[in-house]
Structure 1
Amino acid sequence: MTERPAQRVPNRQLAALIAEAGFSNAGLARRVDQLGLEHGLDLRYDKTSVTRWLRGQQPRGTTPALIAEVFTRRLGRRLSAQDLGLDACAPVYAGLEFAATPEEAVDIASGLWRKDSGSHAELRKIAFTPAGLVVPSRDWLIGRADERVGRGAEPSAARVPLQGRASVPRQRQIDRGPGQRVTGGDIAALRSVSELFRTLDQAYGGGHARQALVRYLEHEAEPMLRGTYGETTGRRLFSAAADLTRLAGWTSYDIAAHGLAQRYFVQALRLAQAAADRPYGSYVLVTMSRQAVYLGHGREAVQLARVAQQGVGSGPPPVVQALLHSAEARGHAVLGEVRASTASLVRAERALGAARPGDDVPHWARFYDEAQLADEFGHCHRDLQQYRASAQHAERSLQLRAPGYARSRLFCRVVLATARLGLGELDQACALGAEAAQQAMEMRSVRAVEYVRDFERRLEPYRDASAVRTYRDRVAALS
């Protein structure tokens, strides 16, 4: 005799909250659908769906967390899925939290590293969430550096050995374990590894060594963060960890894992706060702004760039100020705001012009030079459909840019091809596009491929032209 399925129990908790919020069934369904769209989800719930939930059916996936968020916004207090009588699931904003303490920041960041280094392919499919940018950037702007990050006292000054007695240094453990003391050499190693992965990313694309970087964070950086260190060493450690985490986000962004990249950037921002490294935090926000530009979220890009500027004031060296202003310019350009974009570009140009050889420029800003500024001008003028100016600046950037920045050179070459196309110079545009397509084939960069595809979409009105047919034949021969 077969058992009958368990009878569903009406969800009285959900019913009570619907009444408190003043929702109709259709109204709740509509709000859940709208919130889902913010997270890149096409849900299509209706009043019948809510009726089923009230009868005891459990919604699947991230829907319980979405429903909880709808009630949280409506009622002004934090509610979980369990508070609504629903099964718990992974929070919609998992990884986007701006931790309250350094310890919590380490827990969230390391959890992200571990999941990403495993076989969690779904993690790379998480959608980018514009709404998830607001809280972290706000908390960074109004927040202060943590009062204490150290785990144990600073090492005491080295003792002078007694006369006539040999001093034999203790051998350090090869395998790092929890609680082991972190040294200056450990932090120098983190910095060196960061430069190595940065160079690989610039030359070959984010997909080339991204997984190795994530595993390094899991197996080397996390044990250090859970080790023993004083305040000074701790700040330096958190700064190095922030840099590596931002780079993990950058390489994720380059392979189009945009939701994952966003989460890495948020955690890098929090680690930078623990490091009391305000300028680096502004750089993380600029990185987030660039991702928003790429995804077409111009308004969010401008807001992030402005928060970065407000957070550091007029203190940073001119090169950093130029970087911040040009990020804002890119956001305005995506929105088609000519005057605002031009004004930001002028500020960036003036700031870079004020830079001097002896300036103390942070290591992460040293890439920003005349070539990078010209690249920013070229992109902005392209987005504003000012093709002659775009071509001039793109050509200058290509002349000045070092060969090691292969991906940046590819992007700029596509910008130049697009500008030539906009000027009606079809033969030159196709020749430049074909060169970029060949370079993209040699990289593990989704962004590089997308730049080329964008150019090809712009070629579509000229598909019957001889130059375009030749371009297609050349590109087809590459595959």
Structure 2
Amino acid sequence: MNGGKVPERNQELAAQITDAGMTIPEVADAISERVQDLTGKEFDYTERSVRRLLCGATSWPHAPVRLALESLFETSAVDLGFTPRSGSSRTPSGGVTSAFDRPFLHEQEGSVRRRDLFDIAGGALFSIIVPSLPRRGRIGQSDLVRLRDPLTQLFTADDAAGGVALAQEAVWHADRLLEARKRYEMSVAVSDALHGLAGQYKAAAGWFAIDADDLTLAGQVLPEALKLAALAGDNLLTVQVWNYMAMRARQAGEGGEIHQISRTALRSTAARQHPRAAALFHCRAAYGRAWRGERRQALRSLQRAHDVLGNACDEDVPTWLGFVNRAQLFAQETLVHSLLGQWNEAVESAQSDLRLIPGAYHRNRVHGLIHLAKANLGARSPEIAADAATSAVHEISSLSGSLRAGRAAARLRKLRGRMETWRPVPEVARWLDFYDTSLSAA
């Protein structure tokens, strides 16, 4: 009962529906589809229910419908004219709830568990507020500055705990930008910048997919990112995507593709202008040449990488190139020496890498320790390999996915297979039991 008070028509929602050129049946169908996508369950939102929203009879929709409306009109429920009930959670004005918030809401309603959709180290929930798009008309540079904020937050989460489960969120942001391109007027400069930002989201999705060991998704989004970089005329984004493509190729065992990518990248304007980019692709070239069995050329490429990095300065470094440092070069050296069967050299490079990696860089340390363990197995030092592998298992608990999912987890599984042949060594046998127990408890 409302004490006889007559509900007021929701003018804000009505205006949004009119601006979108939608009919009431179309709105009902759109809500049904979005709720079904969110919950994974069949849902039928009726035209009568939409009319109740419009006439004000429903002042604060249930969470799934509210999220569907925010997604449909790309603004908050409050800005759609709804009034939160006392004690209800709400999104701050000017934002919409992202996919990271949805699991939390649905967990409360019993339809989706948060960790099924987003597994960050320790089970913590990561929330991100999506800046709203203008209600109508025109997109400007200031809008793109706001729309870049989620990308920064995604990389902050990636730096802290790895990229497992972040890829689909990055894809969502990219697709949202590309859809906006069809709905708004914008200048040529803003259009180029929008393509570039969408490309950065797609590139990020590719990187997150690689870190999640989802090479299929990475193979889908990286070519899209490359196309967007070309449309934006962004040479630096182009080489960033090439780098991720090379990483995907290495994980997939496609050394020939790495060789071709590195050759192309080293001829690019970005590589000529940014020594760190050149050093990175000299490393990629070294791996490609090692895969082809070209030992001398591979070692020469490694030396060129060190020489070029010596010319790099710390000023005006593009964010994504910040990881290219001496530690990274030693990490790449380890891979090249291992591919060439130069195990003692691989051990030395891995040790140099680990000495230079800051303690807070958990993902880098996990991979460095795995590289060191593999190199020591090749050098027939299984006891030392077991010690490095033990440290890797302890370190991986800081990453999303932990021992169950992701690139680091996949590498540890492969390492376990190699360690099995050394089971008669007591230290190795203890590590195998420790790994299996840790995996069961993960």
The TM-score bracket by the shorter chain reads: 0.5 to 0.7
Aligned partners of 2:346, 2:146: CA distance in 1, in Å? 41
Matched with 1:452 is 412
Residues 1:433 and 2:389 are matched in the alignment:
yes
Q: Is the 8 A contact 1:255 1:446 kept in 2?
A: yes
Matched with 1:465 is 425
Shift of the alpha carbon at 1:191? 3.3
Shift of the alpha carbon at 1:284? 0.8
Shift of the alpha carbon at 1:192? 3.1
Give matches, 1:405-420, under 5 Å.
405-420=361-376
CA-to-aligned-CA distance 1:270-319 (integer Å, 9 cap, x gap): 11111111122022112111111111111111111212222337632211
Matched with 2:292 is 335
CA-to-aligned-CA distance 1:416-471 (integer Å, 9 cap, x gap): 11112222222221011122134345532421112112222222321222111100
Cα separation, partners in 2 of 1:383 and 1:195, compared to 1, 3 Å: farther
SS at match of 2:202: helix
Aligned partners of 2:135, 2:218: CA distance in 1, in Å? 28
Equivalent of 2:180 in 223, 243, 254 = 223
Aligned partners of 1:281, 1:323: CA distance in 2, in Å? 14
1:255 counterpart letter in structure 2? A
Aligned partners of 2:259, 2:310: CA distance in 1, in Å? 23
Residues 1:362 and 2:318 are matched in the alignment:
yes
CA-to-aligned-CA distance 1:120-160 (integer Å, 9 cap, x gap): x9xxxxxxxxxxxxxxxxxxxxxxxxxxxxxxxxxxxxxxx
- Number of aligned positions between the proteins: 315
Aligned partners of 1:316, 1:349: CA distance in 2, in Å? 17
Cα separation, partners in 2 of 1:469 and 1:319, compared to 1, 3 Å: same
Residues 1:204 and 2:161 are matched in the alignment:
yes
Matched with 2:236 is 279
Matched with 1:475 is 435
Higher relative contact order (CA 8 A, sep 6+): 1
Aligned partners of 2:321, 2:217: CA distance in 1, in Å? 24
Residues 1:191 and 2:148 are matched in the alignment:
yes
CA-to-aligned-CA distance 1:198-235 (integer Å, 9 cap, x gap): 23224323224333333333445642575322122222
Matched with 1:352 is 309
Cα separation, partners in 2 of 1:180 and 1:340, compared to 1, 3 Å: farther
Shift of the alpha carbon at 1:257? 2.5
Matched with 1:235 is 192
Aligned partners of 1:470, 1:220: CA distance in 2, in Å? 51
Aligned partners of 2:421, 2:212: CA distance in 1, in Å? 29
Residues 1:318 and 2:275 are matched in the alignment:
yes
Matched with 1:161 is none
Equivalent of 2:336 in 362, 380, 397 = 380
Q: Is the 8 A contact 2:170 2:202 kept in 1?
A: no
Aligned partners of 1:400, 1:189: CA distance in 2, in Å? 35
Shift of the alpha carbon at 1:179? 5.8
Matched with 1:6 is none
Structure 1 unaligned residues grouped into runs of 5+: 1-113, 122-170
Shift of the alpha carbon at 1:327? 1.5
CA-to-aligned-CA distance 1:24-52 (integer Å, 9 cap, x gap): xxxxxxxxxxxxxxxxxxxxxxxxxxxxx
Aligned partners of 1:202, 1:175: CA distance in 2, in Å? 25
Give matches, 1:24-173, under 5 Å.
none
SS at match of 2:267: helix
Aligned partners of 2:335, 2:210: CA distance in 1, in Å? 19
Matched with 2:85 is none
2:410 counterpart letter in structure 1? E
Structure 2 unaligned residues grouped into runs of 5+: 1-32, 41-92, 96-130
Matched with 1:397 is 353
1:207 counterpart letter in structure 2? V
Q: Is the 8 A contact 1:202 1:408 kept in 2?
A: no
Cα separation, partners in 2 of 1:197 and 1:347, compared to 1, 3 Å: same
Shift of the alpha carbon at 1:351? 0.8
SS at match of 2:346: helix
Q: Is the 8 A contact 1:225 1:238 kept in 2?
A: no
Identical amino acids, percent of aligned pairs:
27
Residues 1:265 and 2:222 are matched in the alignment:
yes
TM-score between the two structures when normalised by the length of structure 2: 0.65
Aligned partners of 2:191, 2:359: CA distance in 1, in Å? 36
Q: Is the 8 A contact 2:370 2:412 kept in 1?
A: yes
Cα separation, partners in 2 of 1:388 and 1:222, compared to 1, 3 Å: farther
